[in-house]
Structure 1
């Protein structure tokens, strides 16, 4: 069994490693892009984020037309619900308090940030704690489902995706050219080896495409946080894990296999080795390792520990909220912004709609209770 899974594991490590390296060199963090809008009235990081979404949109559609995406829309993207909006709102609060999104905390932890490690502890804890509210939340999600919207905007309109994507990509391209003429793409190099964020955005778009082609799914990592939380809880309170219905759910249960490795597309938050574990855990390890390598190569790896206690508490609390919210949404900002929004999936659009006011509220809490002097 293991040799058959080796290509999938190796691919995850490679994609995660390149992503972690690039994000560290560019300090590419989606949490910062949203936070800076409200805290500093800056939109600098929104430009590469929009480039990431647009480039992913084009690449996914080219891959679909070429027949490289046998499952489209991507697995795990389904009927939208108000739960997606509420989950995005809570996620926005959590990621600002944590100081990074689910991927941002990983690459910062890899570079030695102890507050990022605290946020990761919170992510794992919150992902497991969601099991306590899962029955109620599922009823809420089902009651507020919006099946009339279908899964994506093109499916709702009854047209081929390219008929919507081409005009959107063209409009974005005109905006990108305008920014280029005004010299807004490049930022002054902060340190040796600095990677311009727009380059990191393109790298991440290609990584997302490779993930979708190899596994049928774009990048996503938060189900494995729930798996980790369940495994740790099973060591201390096994009865709770066994009795929690959430850990018996199978959000991924398809009669298909991954193109790379031919792993059955079946998995969920239970602490077992399944398709989601084989796809996500190597990516997580790769992001941490790639970031650590980047930091070591430029002499930036160091442990940052001398911070006020409230910063650690904020990171832990923010990570916990983010972990719960990623299960509420379901999934995280990487999955939705770099995977769902590019194919115009309603779940991801609603998630993003909640993310903005959530980031605003997170910024208010951060400035009043954490960064105050």
Structure 2
């Protein structure tokens, strides 16, 4: 148990700290593609996948870990992915984004996090488990993209890595817009850790390395998997209700570590503050959290388990999930943000004409 606690917390603390300091949230990356026509943060998520793919398949080749993936639950991935995409826009953050923002003191994120845990627990272990199991029973025997096409996984690892490298180089060569920077109050390592603005690509590289580290540290406790958020979050809530200590695995301490690591980063950078949103936002946080937990449970993972880990393994589930995460995110963004902006512009134009 000590090994489970320490290894899970180590990875979680690192991940929570890096996510908070780098302001790394997948919903923003997906949303910006439509809202701002900006693919900068989306490319950062691809960097995480590329780095993790190299590390994970190298670990597997050396015999340190064994890569395991279930048959592709195509119906759950499609339906659940779309629902999750809508949910994370309403909640104001993806699964890990909600965890690290809760660590910053955002009460709306605490509400979203509780609802996320509740609906995930209901779908995985509770009243909705029969329905969730039925949806997930629709599977295809095709699991890995490279196996479908009769390729070595290294063909995809290398090709994807080269593609992302080219895109990163092109992005870094573009002219940078001037940014306002306050005079540093800290020096040395403290300035870098708690004050200096982190480049998204640096943050993504660190997240990719942490994702690799998660595999052997998880495997050492008997859990042969990488980062995962939804099931551990549901297990944490279920344990708090029924006291079943068998639920306290590596993943549970991972998500607890994410919250603690974010809190440490937020306190150190002076960004921690209890903030209560308005009633409308709280309503969005509540409904968004419920949709996220339900959707992620049907999809077999969130934007971490599917969007960053299963994609790095080049499973059909991971990449199909990303497509429907995007579609759900864009749908919610259109109805909650873009239409509102258009109505405001139309109203402003009518007022000016009058």
Structure 2 residue ranges without an equivalent (≥5)? 183-194, 219-223, 345-354
SS in 1 for 2:71: coil
TM-fit CA distance, 1:212: 1.1
SS in 2 for 1:304: coil
TM-fit CA distance, 1:370: 8.9
More displaced 10-residue stretch of structure 1: 78-87 or 116-125: 78-87
TM-fit CA distance, 1:132: 2.9
SS in 1 for 2:228: coil
Correspondence 1:32-43 to 2 at 5 A: 32-43=28-39
1:280 paired with 2:251, answer: yes
Structure 2 residue aligned with 1:224: 232
Structure 1 residue aligned with 2:173: 181
Checking the alignment, whether the CA contact within 8 Å between 1:187 and 1:196 is kept in structure 2 is no
1:136 paired with 2:131, answer: yes
Structure 2 residue aligned with 1:78: 71
Q: Give the distance between the partners of 1:80 and 1:336, measured in 2 at CA.
A: 12
SS in 2 for 1:132: coil
Q: 1:145 aligns with which of 135, 139, 154?
A: 139
TM-fit CA distance, 1:62: 1.8
In structure 2, relative to structure 1, the CA distance for the partners of 1:298 and 1:346 (3 Å cut) is same
1:344 paired with 2:314, answer: yes
In structure 2, relative to structure 1, the CA distance for the partners of 1:42 and 1:171 (3 Å cut) is closer
Q: Cα deviations across residues 55-105 of structure 1 (Å, max 9, x unaligned)?
A: 111111222222222x2135xx43332211111101100011000011001
Q: State the TM-score, normalized to the length of structure 2.
A: 0.84
Q: Give the distance between the partners of 2:115 and 2:198, measured in 1 at CA.
A: 29
SS in 2 for 1:343: coil
Checking the alignment, whether the CA contact within 8 Å between 2:89 and 2:333 is kept in structure 1 is yes
Checking the alignment, whether the CA contact within 8 Å between 2:104 and 2:273 is kept in structure 1 is yes
* Corresponding pairs, count: 324
In structure 2, relative to structure 1, the CA distance for the partners of 1:190 and 1:42 (3 Å cut) is farther
Q: State the TM-score, normalized to the length of structure 1.
A: 0.80
In structure 2, relative to structure 1, the CA distance for the partners of 1:316 and 1:368 (3 Å cut) is farther
SS in 1 for 2:86: helix
Checking the alignment, whether the CA contact within 8 Å between 2:81 and 2:325 is kept in structure 1 is yes
Structure 2 residue aligned with 1:294: 265
Correspondence 1:4-83 to 2 at 5 A: 5-69=1-65, 71-74=66-69, 77-83=70-76
Q: CA RMSD in A?
A: 2.4
TM-fit CA distance, 1:300: 1.6
1:355 paired with 2:351, answer: no
Q: Give the distance between the partners of 1:340 and 1:347, measured in 2 at CA.
A: 7
Q: Give the distance between the partners of 1:174 and 1:43, measured in 2 at CA.
A: 14
Structure 1 residue aligned with 2:100: 107
In structure 2, relative to structure 1, the CA distance for the partners of 1:62 and 1:231 (3 Å cut) is closer
Q: Cα deviations across residues 235-264 of structure 1 (Å, max 9, x unaligned)?
A: xxxxxxxxxxxxxxxxxxxxxxxxxxxxxx
TM-fit CA distance, 1:187: 8.9
Checking the alignment, whether the CA contact within 8 Å between 1:85 and 1:352 is kept in structure 2 is no
Structure 1 residue aligned with 2:150: 158
TM-fit CA distance, 1:304: 1.1
Q: Cα deviations across residues 319-349 of structure 1 (Å, max 9, x unaligned)?
A: 1110111111112111112210011011111
Q: 2:283 aligns with which of 299, 313, 316?
A: 313
Q: Give the distance between the partners of 1:96 and 1:331, measured in 2 at CA.
A: 17
TM-fit CA distance, 1:233: 5.7
Q: Give the distance between the partners of 2:179 and 2:214, measured in 1 at CA.
A: 31
Q: Give the distance between the partners of 2:20 and 2:295, measured in 1 at CA.
A: 25
In structure 2, relative to structure 1, the CA distance for the partners of 1:190 and 1:344 (3 Å cut) is farther
